[in-house]
């Protein structure tokens, strides 16, 4: 019984308390942003902050690459597509940013129990990841083959304890499709949290069972002490490991 309850707890806890922090899963605010020739900057605001960090996205195409470049968000994906030209450049250049210097995220990556960003790469080339902090600090890194960017591998001067913005930066890309961008807990932190929760629930479960037992015993007249006294004793005994089961 204890093993079953612990397994249920671990499964539930791993899906909630220590879930990855979502930057964007591209499930809300479906849109298509297309650059035709000239550079283009465009923002989306008022988005669900539980699905889009900070509740806003900012698209910026510079003047390089193919004349026609399209970013499409919808159905849980971001797709970047440059339109091939008979002559000239057929590559894509896009910065997609969450937060800004003027509207900072104020995100403390050091307090989340996380150790990396994860890009769900579905197809195509890999965009780089850049973060910025107040005072002009910037750090960047290209993701590995699994789509991970570990904090310890970031290069630059950004303050991880005060991140203003997060950016996917695409340069000379033939295009890609991404499922999500998230901040992921390190395994050691995840298991430590689950273990602590399992112990806490186990103690509480024993306490509740003892309370039920003592209440029934009191009603039957087999216990003479006040119920509150017995419950307090039972709770302390459980913590000290003295209660018999």
| Predicted TM-score of the model (pTM) | 0.72
Q: What is the pLDDT of residue 222?
A: 56
Give residue 77's pLDDT: 98
Cα separation, 14 vs 3, in Å, equals 16
The tens digit of pLDDT for each residue in 22-37 reads 999 999 999 999 999 9
The predicted pLDDT at position 204 comes to 56
Q: State the pLDDT at residue 243.
A: 44
- Per-residue pLDDT averaged across 176-204, rounded? 66
- Count the neighbouring beta carbons within 10 Å of the beta carbon of residue 110: 13
Least reliable range by pLDDT among 17-21, 22-26, 223-227:
223-227
Domain chopping of the chain, boundaries = 20-185, 189-240
User: pLDDT category, 211, cuts 50, 70, 90?
Assistant: low
Give CATH for domain 20-185.
2.60.120
* Averaged pLDDT score across all residues of the chain: 82
């Amino acid at each position: 019984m204890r093993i079953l309850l612990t397994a249920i707890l671990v499964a539930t806890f791993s899906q909630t308390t220590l879930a990855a922090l979502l930057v964007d899963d591209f499930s809300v605010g479906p849109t298509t942003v297309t650059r035709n020739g000239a550079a283009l900057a465009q923002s989306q605001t008022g988005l669900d902050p539980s699905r889009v960090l900070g509740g806003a996205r900012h698209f910026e195409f510079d003047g390089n690459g193919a004349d026609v470049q399209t970013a499409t968000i919808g159905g849980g994906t971001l797709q970047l597509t440059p339109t091939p030209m008979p002559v000239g450049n057929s590559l894509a250049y896009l910065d997609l940013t969450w937060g800004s210097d003027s509207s900072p995220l104020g995100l403390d990556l050091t307090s989340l129990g996380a150790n990396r960003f994860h890009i769900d790469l579905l197809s195509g080339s890999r965009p780089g990841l850049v973060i910025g902090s107040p005072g002009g600090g910037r750090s960047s890194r290209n993701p590995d083959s699994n789509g991970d960017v570990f904090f310890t591998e970031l290069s630059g001067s950004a303050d991880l304890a005060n991140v203003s913005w997060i950016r996917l930066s695409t340069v000379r890309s033939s295009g890609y499709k991404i499922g999500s961008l998230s901040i992921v807990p390190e395994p050691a932190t995840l298991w430590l949290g689950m273990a602590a929760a399992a112990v806490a629930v186990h103690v509480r479960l024993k306490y509740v069972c003892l309370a039920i037992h003592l209440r029934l015993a009191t009603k039957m007249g087999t216990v003479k002490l006040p119920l509150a006294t017995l419950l307090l004793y039972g709770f302390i005994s459980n913590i000290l490991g003295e209660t018999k089961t």
